Amino acid sequence: MTSREISAFAAEEEKRVLSLKPVLAPRHGRYGDHPHQVYDAWPAEDADAPLVVLLHGGYWRYDRMHLTPFAAYLAQQGFSVLLPGFRRSGGAGGYPETFDDVARIVDTLPAGRPYVLAGHCSGGHLALWCAARGLLPPDSPWHTRALPTAVLALAPITDLDATRRDRLSDDAALQLLGGQEVFEQRLPSVDPLTLLREAGSTGVPTVLLHGAVDEEVPLTQFSDYAAVHHDLRTVVLPGTGHYTLIEPGAPGAAAVADTLWDMSAAFGAVRPGRTAPEGAGR
């Protein structure tokens, strides 16, 4: 909220994680001509390593640099990792550019490989939205049948209307959609909760993982989404806040890596040191 009060625990966690030094990726690329249409890549040596596409948080305003330590950490756990940038609120993005870019990311960067689309906070919102693009009207420019293989939403924003109501991060939801005058009109095409209400499922295997003591995103965002997503898997980490999910080496981040390996096993990925189940293909 604009004047939210958080505990000393949450304030220390936020400061500790967001002050981590950015990590330079070994490779970089572009998926479009705009300066923000770029990505960082941590390719695994193993050609069969599972692919994770990471969508960063920051209430749709901030850049991806704060997530580079976590991307590098996942690469150390055996994943190939892509961390894209995209046009953002308050600058070149917002509605529709942010959504145009994220749709383009998932339509092009995986290059036909199975992958887990993972996102933290507002990046979790964008990941859940990508899973729901098949529920959009066929005449929507974002409608597609080429959906992510699986989605892992980390402490995600799931409900833009509640985000507006609670005035999270100084009215970030209003800024994303272009203001109060157009909010209601634009909401149905970009809000995961609204898109799910009738369908009950996106058809994409989806896990919502969050800390039990998250003070950044109201816990009702998670429970309200779980109430309408009938085949959602939910993982709740006791004693865990919002930011340690992306803190390299923290128990929360280790749980995220474990969950990603579990999800990747569904499309044939084998964690180093483990044997593939009989009959599993790649």
Question: Which residues share a beta bridge with 114?
Answer: none
Task: Measure the CA–CA gap between 68 and 50, rounded to whole angstroms.
Answer: 18
Model pLDDT, residue 223 = 98
**Pairing state of beta strands 80-84 and 115-120?**
unpaired
Q: 8-265, what's its fold?
A: Rossmann fold (3.40.50)
Mean pLDDT for the chain overall: 94
Whose tokens are 């390593």? That residue is: 49
SS3 at position 129: helix
State mean pLDDT over 268-273. Answer: 84
Predicted confidence (pLDDT) at residue 279 exceeds the cutoff of 80: no
Tens digits of residue pLDDT in 190-213: 999 999 999 999 999 999 999 999
Predicted confidence (pLDDT) at residue 163 exceeds the cutoff of 70: yes
Task: Measure the CA–CA gap between 60 and 111, rounded to whole angstroms.
Answer: 25
25 confidence band (pLDDT: 50, 70, 90): very high
282 confidence band (pLDDT: 50, 70, 90): very low
Task: Measure the CA–CA gap between 59 and 121, rounded to whole angstroms.
Answer: 7
Predicted confidence (pLDDT) at residue 1 exceeds the cutoff of 50: no
Model pLDDT, residue 270 = 87
| 158 burial via Cβ count (<10 Å: 0-12, 13-18, 19+) | buried
Question: Which residues share a beta bridge with 211?
Answer: 237
Query: Of residues 6 and 193, which shows the higher confidence score?
Result: 193
Model pLDDT, residue 275 = 54
Model pLDDT, residue 281 = 41
Tens digits of residue pLDDT in 71-110: 999 999 999 999 999 999 999 999 999 999 999 999 999 9
Model pLDDT, residue 276 = 52
State mean pLDDT over 63-69. Answer: 97
Percent of the chain with pLDDT over 90: 91
Model pLDDT, residue 274 = 65
Q: Tell me the two tokens of residue 36.
A: 């923000």
Predicted confidence (pLDDT) at residue 64 exceeds the cutoff of 60: yes
Is 23 in contact with 69 (CB distance < 8 Å)?
yes
268 confidence band (pLDDT: 50, 70, 90): confident
Model pLDDT, residue 181 = 98
